[in-house]
Amino acid sequence: MNKGLLIVLSGPSGVGKGTVCASLRRKMPDLVYSVSATTRAPRSGEQEGVNYFFKTKEQFQEMIARDALLEYAEYVGNYYGTPREFVEKTLNEGKDIILEIEVQGALKVKEKFPDGVFVFLLPPSLGELKQRIVGRGTESQDKIDHRLAVAVEEMNLLSRYDYAVVNDEIDCACARIQAIITAEHCRRERFLHELFDELKGLTAAKNGSER
């Protein structure tokens, strides 16, 4: 069985990663979602084990000590991380899994899974990004300014990703990501090993019949 695809979707805070990922999962019900752990407080409507595993800093540090996280990062005063075991189990079962994580974490995953598919979600403009962050109504002005400054730094890391998708309209962004996943499943590298084994078996059988 071929391994599943690891799709990593990231981008600056406020770009709409969660909304795009949720819409993509509705369109692709077989796509497994990797739930991250975080120490930040739940936002309105977020559920434990669905949106995040909400942890105290002490609990998160214990997970780090056990090497139970595939990656983790501190972002605007909070920790975020990806539980390792579930991701590896899903890939080995031949299922595709999507990680919706911050840029720091995505680049750490790339060090361990260079064959993953890394997609950077971009805003139509920095002005639009600011409006989205302000529209949340959950941030002080200092935090808004800090998030925008971090966003500029993160967008400078675009060259580390395989693909860039502009989140101008959710359905359009999802369609682009679906096209990326389809194309990645057709990469020759995913077929070479299986084809080599099959050809090797045919050659051995032919040589055996000629004796």
Give the pLDDT confidence score for residue 199 in this predicted structure.
75
CB 174 within 8 A of CB 37: no
Averages of pLDDT over runs of 10 residues in the chain (211 residues) are 89 90 95 92 90 93 93 87 89 94 89 92 87 74 84 92 96 97 89 72 64 59
CB 34 within 8 A of CB 143: no
Q: Which CATH superfamily is domain 6-34+96-209 in?
A: P-loop containing nucleotide triphosphate hydrolases (3.40.50.300)
CB 105 within 8 A of CB 81: yes
Give the pLDDT confidence score for residue 146 in this predicted structure.
84
Give the pLDDT confidence score for residue 5 in this predicted structure.
96
**How many CB atoms within 10 Å of residue 38?**
21
Among 113, 94, 119, 92, which Cα is nearest to 185's?
Answer: 94
Give the pLDDT confidence score for residue 66 in this predicted structure.
93
pTM (2 decimals)?
A: 0.78
Gap between the Cα atoms of 100 and 106, Å rounded = 9
Indicate the domain borders of the chain: 6-34+96-209
> What is the distance, to the nearest Å, from the Cα of residue 11 to the centroid of all Cα atoms in its chain?
10
